[in-house]
Structure 1
């Protein structure tokens, strides 16, 4: 993993489908922008051709094929979009990152170590948020909005993803990633986002102190 730190702040959001990831990321982005901070919002898979293949191709691509697509898209997006923004001192909020690959590729039978190898050299976030919740509640939300991929359409997806994310959080922490789990079952989106904004400001303060 890349160890050179850039002026900007990378905040990533991961979690099971239906947990409120995209909504929370959007509110956090809007709140930070309204406070006067330069913020860039993005997502993975990206909107580039590689990303669109991964995003819309989960019924076609599986296992190592999908793992390679997702990793290739991440490397490309880092070089062309995320790292340039971080070099400019911008805060980047990314909906999904490596934790999602550990979970989804893990559900496809790809070992975690192989996922790490494919993602070798990716930029470590300054704050990695993993949203969690009761699998039954998450499943109800997911069924209400509909699944966006074959993973989300699976009947037992919510329980499987929740279990795999618990393991992913442990794995990321073992590798020194600054991971924070945030429970979403009972909280309102605005309340959850406000708590995360506070974490972002704290991370920014710590980074400023370390790099005067």
Structure 2
């Protein structure tokens, strides 16, 4: 059952977003390992989820576009919140989620959908305790993406990194305007383990009751 918008649960939700190839999954893995090593309860997850809805969204970007894909991603997010993320937060875990609403604002924006529509589809989602946006030099990100290979039609587009990087600037502004605590880090200027360590430091500030976006 979805938590009321004003209800804050015992756990801590940390989300990571950013252009394809920026290093979200690697950073999330390193963060999880670092937090686990100091005996903090961590639940690592990702969006799209591993549920049936998430698999459709992950593997169906060539089939589903525009409003269809936006609805699919939002439905998967609501379902994952109810069945996985909120239960973990109620148990007091630190939930590290690879992609969240910012990714929808950007990817659905690439399909031409307005941000307000994306927010409407995601109405009632749980606000993170810290939303991290990884960004950086789009040329470096594009090179990483070429080396890794694109996972979706968005990532296979030649100008994807430039477009995504630009749209994440707008996504950050959208989150801040709605009162979400946001920290943006350049993931191309330092090694991924250093970026992960910076985020872990921010997580400690969150756990102490400080907002790293205001430090």
Q: Does 1:56 align with 2:62?
A: no
Tell me the residue number matched to 2:73.
70
Q: For residues 75-130 of structure 1, what are the alpha-carbon distances to aligned partners after superposition, in whole Å with 9 as ceiling and x for unaligned?
A: 00000000000001000000000000000001001110000000000000001000
8 Å Cα contact 1:3-1:124 kept in structure 2 = no
Please give the alpha-carbon distance, in whole angstroms, between the structure 1 residues aligned to 2:121 and 2:184: 24
Q: Does 1:123 align with 2:145?
A: no
* Match of residue 200, structure 2, among 194, 197, 201: 197
Q: Does 1:161 align with 2:164?
A: yes
**TM-score when normalising by structure 2:** 0.95
Moved over 4 A (4+): none
Tell me the residue number matched to 1:86.
89
Corresponding residue pairs, total = 207
Please give the alpha-carbon distance, in whole angstroms, between the structure 2 residues aligned to 1:21 and 1:2: 27
Tell me the residue number matched to 1:95.
98
Please give the alpha-carbon distance, in whole angstroms, between the structure 2 residues aligned to 1:168 and 1:162: 10
CA RMSD for the aligned pairs? 0.9
Determine helix, strand or coil for the equivalent of 2:132.
strand
* Distance apart, 1:184 and its partner CA: 1.2
* Match of residue 38, structure 1, among 11, 36, 41: 41
Extract unaligned runs of 5+ from structure 2. 211-215
8 Å Cα contact 1:24-1:193 kept in structure 2 = yes
Determine helix, strand or coil for the equivalent of 1:206.
coil
Please give the alpha-carbon distance, in whole angstroms, between the structure 2 residues aligned to 1:23 and 1:174: 29
